[in-house]
Amino acid sequence: MLLAVQADQPYQTLNDLVEYAKKHPEQLKFGNAGTGSFSHVLCEMLNHDAGIKIEQVPFSGGGETISALLGGHVQIIFINPVSIKEHVKKGTVKILAVTSAHRLTDPVFAHVPTFKELGIDITIDNWHGIAVPKETPAAVKNKLAERFKAIINDPAFKENMERVGNQVEYLGPQESTDKWIADSQKLQKTLQESGILEQIKAQKK
């Protein structure tokens, strides 16, 4: 996930943004994809780890946050590379940091530093997996895993995915499970500490 701002703003680095937020505590707004969404949690992670407090503005999806950013209704969003790539190429949006452990390979984003590089403890991906019912026979699960491995590691598949801004890495069943557990622990900690769980409960009422 990428931390995006309008390109013509005075904060041109993550450090600039943090300092600006500290000096102007009520002037910046985060646009997120809805209460409890991944982008909402990431915003709270940044608030916590950078020692800032930026107001959250929930929308009904990532597309709306991009429109709000371009229109100046919010100043900061977290967004996936595919959705924001063309705006970055046009020069209307600037990316300040990426949440992954390593920089992205896409030339449009390759120069963007990770949060970890910049001293902020945010290392998490918006990733996708494939699941089957728990009772599926082991032989079937293993065969599926091997077939998906062949597809995902196919050079043509990787090239097509990377062309639109996705980064591809195959994780087997156990690796996927380990990643799921590790990421869930990070997200759960933020959900509890930030009050997002209470917001979700209040919204359901």
> What's the pLDDT tens digit per position in 159-185?
888 877 778 889 999 999 999 999 888
Helix (H, G, I), strand (E, B) or coil at 25: coil
- Residues 193-205: tens digit of each pLDDT: 777 777 666 666 6
120, 46 in Cβ contact below 8 A? yes
* pLDDT reported for residue 202: 67
Give me the domains of the chain, ranges plus CATH numbers: 2-128 (3.40.190.10)
- Locate 4 and state its tokens: 């995006």
How far does CA 84 lie from the centroid of its chain? 12
How far does CA 83 lie from the centroid of its chain? 11
Burial of 39 (0-12, 13-18, 19+ CB in 10 A): buried
* pLDDT reported for residue 17: 97
* pLDDT reported for residue 188: 83
Higher per-residue pLDDT: 26 or 20: 20
Average pLDDT, the chain: 90
pTM here? 0.83
54, 28 in Cβ contact below 8 A? yes
Instruction: Return the number of other C-beta atoms located less than 10 Å from residue 4's C-beta.
Output: 24
DSSP-assigned letter for residue 31: E
